[in-house]
Structure 1
Amino acid sequence: MNGNMAAAMELRCWGGDWGLPSVHTESLIVLAYAKFSGAKVTVSPIDWTWRTLTATVPELLCGDSAVQEPTQILNFLRKQRFNADFELTARQGADTMAYIALIEEKLMPAVLHTFWVDAENYANLTRPWFASHSPFPLNFIVPSRHANAALSRILLTKGEAPLHRITEVEGKIYSDAKECLNLLAYRLGQANFFFGNSPTSLDAFVFGFVAPLYKASLPSSPLQSHLKQLDNITHFCDNILAVYFSSDHPSPPPPVQESMDANLQKLTQLVNKESNLIEKVLLLSFYPLCMSSWVHVSDG
């Protein structure tokens, strides 16, 4: 490949649902920014592959580079001359960084809590989604790994020792998030995007955090109810989906084998009751076994 030709870019991320190109905030940020900046990326969902256990997503692969974390990926895209922020003034650039920091400090903990810590949402929406998009037996392990990581991340962001019970900071987490959403709604006003007529990295971050909260069928979420009252923010999400993603329908899942034997069905019911215990047992029993057999048949 000669130096003038752009290397093909592949983005590994969680797949889409709920009318979104991905259900995963960080993946959504990168997908949106790629659209805004005109970067051509091939999207490779990690759903139903063994990478659901090991992958850090989103991950951008380009030539010999593998870049993780939204901020790093956006920087990488800018270096490839895909820059959605080139018209921003220095002041707007500084505002962008301040708002992104605010979102990560004030909104992220509540979004993580809503999907991964709230017991009703986790049992009815989050856990079944991630389990059904991970191959057996990883479907028993992947959701709880994410839930544990989310909990650690929340406590870390809140400056709490992991010893603190999450219930002690819940109230503060949600009041901070509502305040952050109000501030974003105020800052957006009646504009289509945060800095005028073209979307920038700030729009990508807001979209990534807000769209799942807006679109998921959450059984219990005061934060979602609050968001749905902020018409300009929900319109902002709908507008981005319509303009940038309307032709990208998430690909349908591969057919699942219907004939799940009775033992496995019982196991699945049990797992829902005794999740942590069974996950540990499964991890110990299946994982070495599967890894050895999958060395020969990796999903490439």
Structure 2
Amino acid sequence: MAATMELRCWGGDWGLPSVHTESLIVLAYAKFSGATITVTPIDWTWKTLTGTVPELVYQGSTITEPAQILNFLRKQQRFNADYELSARQGADTMAYIALLEEKLRPALLHTFWVDAENYANLTRPWFASRSPFPLNFLVPGRHANTALSRILLTKGESPLHTITEVEGKIYSEAKECLNLLSHRLGTAYYFFGNTPCSLDAFVFGFVAPLHKASLPSSPLQSHLRQLDNLQRFCDHILNAHFSSHPGSPQPVQETVDANLQKLTQLVNKESNLIEKVLLLSSPWMTT
């Protein structure tokens, strides 16, 4: 019997198999390529702080980062969703993935982790409610600090030094990126031909959370609402490949989650001081 491949990742919600971009990329590619993996959410475990997700475990070896995991599935396990691509399409795939990383990722990090309203009402309560005590006080803040540092490191060149100065630039570039993706996709279900490939997995991973999350404040989500084909692209992949995933809406569970989120928000309002004290006293927890 072949050894089982285990994927450790953040769990699902909002109608998605995972709310985490990198985890979504790997989950989608596994579906597209026919790879059989056992999904183990890290929710409510200590790995919410110490784990690097997504993380593929196979025969004692651990592979992290979507690009490395996809490469392992293609070359070592012969699960290749790109086998029908031409050399030109392969080159285009690499170019579009680089575009996503450079132009769209900073705006997504800002939308979910830096925008104060989104962070307070959606991102922080969600990740806090999926982390065990006392990590629920640490995990959201750590991710937020990492996101802010990454944005300023990649986009904060002179004369733009503060996050307020950088905001306009990153959102303008992200909207341009979404427009390019929309133009390239056109009326097709997938970016190249009639079957999905690694580019579809990456675009899905980046765009689906923006499409499905109930964000209180997001000019980028408002822009996506104008691009019907990208929204249909995400919905089609969910319906065709993830019709019965754990993130599918369940009325009873939604009520429980809503109540849990309200409770978490109340707790979080009282925990700002605790979070700051713990972070300052634990320099090993910062990145």
Same fold (TM over 0.5): yes
Provide the rounded CA distance (Å) in 1 between the counterparts of 2:279 and 2:103. 34
Residue identity matched to 1:160: E
Matched residue, 1:152: 149
Matched, 1:78 2:74: yes
User: Aligned-pair RMSD on alpha carbons?
Assistant: 2.5
Please tell me whether the aligned partners of residues 125 and 265 of structure 2 are also in contact (alpha carbons under 8 angstroms): no
Matched residue, 2:102: 105
Residues 1-300 of structure 1 aligned to structure 2 (within 5 Å)? 5-79=1-75, 80-158=77-155, 160=157, 164-250=161-247, 268-271=268-271, 275=272, 277-282=273-278
Q: 1:152 is paired with a residue of what secondary structure?
A: helix
Q: 2:171 is paired with a residue of what secondary structure?
A: helix
Deviation of the 1:168 alpha carbon: 1.0
Distance 1:179 1:265, change over 3 A: closer
Please tell me whether the aligned partners of residues 42 and 48 of structure 2 are also in contact (alpha carbons under 8 angstroms): yes
Q: 2:40 is paired with a residue of what secondary structure?
A: strand
Deviation of the 1:248 alpha carbon: 1.5
Distance 1:116 1:40, change over 3 A: same
Please tell me whether the aligned partners of residues 39 and 82 of structure 1 are also in contact (alpha carbons under 8 angstroms): yes
Residue identity matched to 1:38: G
Residue identity matched to 2:129: S
Please tell me whether the aligned partners of residues 137 and 282 of structure 1 are also in contact (alpha carbons under 8 angstroms): no
Please tell me whether the aligned partners of residues 156 and 162 of structure 2 are also in contact (alpha carbons under 8 angstroms): no
Distance 1:266 1:147, change over 3 A: closer
User: What is the TM-score with the length of structure 1 in the denominator?
Assistant: 0.85
In the comparison of the two structures, how many residue pairs are matched? 272
- Structure 1 segments of 4+ aligned residues over 6 angstroms from their partners: 264-267
Residue identity matched to 2:28: A
Residue identity matched to 1:131: A
1:44-100 CA distance string (max 9 Å, x none): 000001111100100000112100000000001102100000110111000000000
Q: Which has the bigger relative contact order, CA under 8 A and spacing at least 6?
A: 2
Distance 1:109 1:265, change over 3 A: closer
Q: 1:52 is paired with a residue of what secondary structure?
A: helix
Identity across aligned pairs (percent)?
78
Q: 1:203 is paired with a residue of what secondary structure?
A: helix
Q: Which has the larger radius of gyration?
A: 1
Provide the rounded CA distance (Å) in 1 between the counterparts of 2:19 and 2:268. 24
User: What is the TM-score with the length of structure 2 in the denominator?
Assistant: 0.89
Distance 1:193 1:171, change over 3 A: same
Deviation of the 1:265 alpha carbon: 10
Structure 1 residue ranges without an equivalent (≥5): 259-263, 287-300
